[in-house]
């Protein structure tokens, strides 16, 4: 019974997709279209930099790291700051460090203080320095080791 069902299905498939030209014919043609969806891929690497602050006041630009992006299409890049600690303890108050804009290569963007994110928009392949401009260190900033945690979030520009 299985063989009969399979044979019937094969006959149906051939009947649906086959063409028959009887008698004399020339230039008989069958055409079709195949859709191939090439999905976006991404290889990315982040190298972070340590910074030493020796005095209060104008620090200038502070490089936080280097971001390498390799993709077959541009990607949307967002940086989300997830936490900060001093000597391993969570910082519950802002030590009032002043800064300008964040940069990723030649792109710059402001920090959204409601979501603690920086949105750089579309970014193409390349290696980019990532950091913040115009850092100003307050005189009363306590000495210690500060760690600032962040995630770099990538989203595709090509979707299906």
Give the total number of structural domains in the chain.
Answer: 1
- Band of pLDDT at residue 89, cut at 50, 70 and 90: low
Residue 85 resides in a domain: yes
Residue 144 resides in a domain: yes
Residue 135 resides in a domain: yes
Residue 131 resides in a domain: yes
Q: What is the mean pLDDT of residues 134-156?
A: 89
Measured between alpha carbons, how far is 147 from 86 in angstroms, rounded to an integer?
6
Q: Is the pLDDT of residue 69 over 90?
A: yes
In this predicted model, what pLDDT tens digit does every residue of 13-37 receive, in sequence order?
455 556 777 777 888 888 999 999 9
Residue 114 resides in a domain: yes
Average pLDDT, the chain: 85
Residue 96 resides in a domain: yes
Buried b (16+ CB within 10 A) or exposed e, 85-113: eeeeeeeeeeeeeebeebbbeebebebee
Angle of CA points 72, 76, 78, to nearest 5°: 140
Whole-model pTM: value is 0.75
Residue 30 resides in a domain: no
Residue 24 resides in a domain: no
CATH number, domain with residue 90 = 2.60.40
The range of the structural domain enclosing residue 49 comes to: 42-156
Residues 152 and 77 sit within 8 Å (Cβ to Cβ): yes
């Amino acid at each position: 019974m299985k063989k009969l069902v399979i044979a019937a299905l094969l006959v149906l498939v051939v009947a649906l997709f086959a063409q028959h030209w009887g008698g004399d014919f020339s230039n008989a043609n069958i055409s079709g279209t195949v859709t191939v969806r090439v999905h976006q891929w991404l290889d990315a690497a982040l190298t972070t930099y340590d910074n030493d602050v020796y005095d209060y006041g104008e620090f200038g630009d502070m490089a936080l790291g280097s971001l390498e992006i390799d993709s077959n299409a541009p990607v949307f890049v967002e940086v989300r700051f997830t936490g900060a600690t001093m000597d391993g303890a969570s910082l519950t108050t802002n030590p009032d460090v002043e800064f300008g804009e964040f940069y990723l290569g030649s792109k710059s963007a402001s920090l959204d203080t409601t979501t603690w994110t920086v949105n750089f928009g579309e970014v193409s392949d390349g290696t980019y320095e990532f950091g913040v401009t115009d850092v100003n260190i307050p005189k009363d900033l306590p000495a210690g080791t500060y760690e600032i945690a962040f995630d770099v979030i990538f989203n595709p520009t090509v979707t299906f």
